[in-house]
Amino acid sequence: MDWKKKEYSFFSHKKCEYFPCHKTDDPDNFNCLFCYCPLYALGKKCGGNYRYTESGIKDCSNCLIPHKRENYEYITGKYQEIVKMMKLQKEEK
C-alpha cells in the first residue's frame, strides 16, 4: 500500500496555538500527526536530532523527524522497537 497517497499519513493543524511547534522553512509540509513523538521513548535510539539538558531531560526542540511528511514510514517502522523496549521495562520491575 502506498501510504504517501493516504490522508492518514499527514495532518497539519495550522490553527493550533503552537503551530509550528518547531522552527521550519516548510510550514505547508509540517506534519502534526505525531504531535507527541512516539520515538521519544526510545531515548538515544530514536534517530532524531536531540540533546539532553543539564538536568537530564531529553530536548527534541531541534528535531523535525516526526514533523516531516516523508517520515511517516520511519516513525511507524519503529513501533516494534518501542514495543520491545516497553516489554523490557515491564520485566525489570
Neighbours of 69 (CB within 10 A): 15
What are the sequence ranges of the domains in the chain? 16-92
- Mean pLDDT score, 19-42: 94
pLDDT at res. 2: 84
pLDDT at res. 1: 62
pLDDT at res. 79: 95
Question: pLDDT tier at 93 (50, 70, 90 boundaries)?
Answer: low
Share of the chain above pLDDT 70, in %: 98
Of the candidates 36, 11, 9, 7, the residue with the CA atom closest to the CA atom of residue 21: 36
Sort strands 51-52 and 58-59 into parallel, antiparallel or unpaired.
antiparallel
Residue 3 in this model has a pLDDT that exceeds 90: no
Say which residue the cell 500527526 belongs to.
33
Helices (runs of H) and strands (runs of E) counted in the chain = 2, 2
Mean pLDDT of the chain: 92
Q: What is the pLDDT of residues 34-78, one digit of tens each?
A: 999 999 989 899 999 999 999 999 999 999 999 999 999 999 999
